[in-house]
Amino acid sequence: QVQPVESGGGFAQAGKSLRLSCVVDVTTFSSIGIGWFRQAPGKEREFVAAIRQSGDMTAYADSVRGRFAISRDNAKNTVFLQMNSLKPEDTAVYFCAATYSFLAGTAATRGVHYNEWGQGIQVTVSS
């Protein structure tokens, strides 16, 4: 079973923080690259952040850079997305996606490179 499971979403006021978690319960978690995507009502799915298997390379969408931080704890099979300084436009369903492929170049930002997707978790930011 390699399907990611998201948690940690909910409601927050603008300027506050939330932390999302993505768990992939496999023995080879350290070999999995993780990406976060989000989709707001009426909009296309968009890339948010990604982290390589080694954890030494991360990528962020311009809209979240400087506010969000992605990290991983391989001992817990978990990737975190720390979301600070939240804005109403961050409101969306957030999806965690996993891949065994090496995320080179812009591959990390494209959903087609990910093999398994979580069910998604709602994040709602109000003013």
Dump the DSSP string for 34-68. Answer: EEEEEE-TTS--EEEEEE-TTSS-EEE-TTTBTTE
Residue 42 DSSP code: T
- Measured CA to CA, the distance from residue 113 to residue 17 in angstroms comes to 29
Tokens of 21: 């978690």
Structure confidence at residue 51 (pLDDT): 95
Q: What angle do CA 95, 97, 101 make, to 5 degrees?
A: 160
**pLDDT of 11 strictly over 70:** yes
The predicted structure's pLDDT at residue 28: 87
pLDDT at 92: 98
Whether the per-residue pLDDT at 1 is higher than 60: the answer is no
Q: Write out pLDDT tens, residues 45-95.
A: 999 999 998 777 999 999 999 999 999 999 999 999 999 999 999 999 999
> pLDDT-based confidence at 42, cuts 50/70/90?
very high
Strand partners, 39: 93
The pLDDT value recorded for residue 2 is 78
Per-residue pLDDT band at 39 (split at 50, 70, 90)? very high
Which tokens in the block code for residue 95?
Answer: 């999806």
Reported confidence tier of residue 102, pLDDT bands at 50, 70, 90: confident
The string of pLDDT tens digits covering residues 106-125 is 889 999 999 999 999 999 99
